[in-house]
Amino acid sequence: MRKTTKRAIFNPPNTLQDNSYTKLAVLAKGGSKLETTTAQLARKSSLMGQDLSGLGVKELQTLENQLEMSIRCIRTKKDQLMIDEIHELNRKVLQHHGSLIHQENMELYRKVNLIRQENAELYKKLYETGAENEANRDSTTPYNFAVIEEANTPARLELNPPSQQNDAEQTTPPKLGLQLHP
């Protein structure tokens, strides 16, 4: 019984087996990582064209086709990313310009309102002087100009016919700046 107790104290059961199992697991894990790294390096050197000496024409043609397909996929992905980025930038530009356009529209709206107010004041002044124009309309001056008033319509000018005077005055028309020649 004493031997068993000493053995249990100095060398617990299954300790040697547990240590060797742990060491094997670590080595297996390291070996697996090493295999993965080796495969990646071999694939990388194959892709770079460093390990092509043992390949025949058919294998080289297959490899070339695979590389062309890979390049097409890469270019398609790159093009799509660039298109998406362009769309995003256009959206941002439109959003920024949209606010600028809105500001410009507001400024134009203010200017239009100012012009409308000025027009209203001018119409008011025009209609206030309308009574004076009615008095001038009946004057004896031939070919005089008068403003004809109508509600809610813009002012227009009209040429009044000469009043009935003696024939000597009517035979000589007034000289205007523009004359028509037949």
| Contact call for residues 157 and 147 (beta carbons, < 8 A) | yes
Q: Could you report the per-residue pLDDT of 26-68, keeping only the tens digit for each? A: 778 877 888 888 888 777 766 666 677 777 899 889 888 998 9
Tokens of 58: 């058919």
Q: Which one is predicted more confidently, 4 or 111?
A: 111
Q: Which one is predicted more confidently, 79 or 95?
A: 79
Q: Could you report the per-residue pLDDT of 148-161, keeping only the tens digit for each? A: 555 555 555 566 66
- For the whole prediction, is pTM greater than 0.75? no
| 5, 9, 10, 14: CA torsion to nearest 10 | 90
Residue pointed to by tokens 């397909």: 69
**CB neighbour burial string for 16-48, b if at least 16 within 10 angstroms, e if fewer:** eeeeeeeeeeeeeeeeeeeeeeeeeeeeeeeee
| Contact call for residues 63 and 55 (beta carbons, < 8 A) | yes
Among 51-55, 60-64, 107-111, 170-174, name the one with the lowest average pLDDT: 170-174
The DSSP-derived string for 17-28 is: HHHHHHHHHHHH
Q: Which one is predicted more confidently, 70 or 13?
A: 70
| Contact call for residues 165 and 140 (beta carbons, < 8 A) | yes
Query: What's the CA gap between 148 and 157, in Å, rounded?
Result: 7
| Contact call for residues 125 and 155 (beta carbons, < 8 A) | no
Mapped onto helix, strand or coil, the DSSP state of residue 145 is strand
Domain boundaries, the chain: 2-28+59-154
Q: Which one is predicted more confidently, 120 or 8?
A: 120
Crossing angle (nearest 10°) for helices 130-137 and 57-128: 70
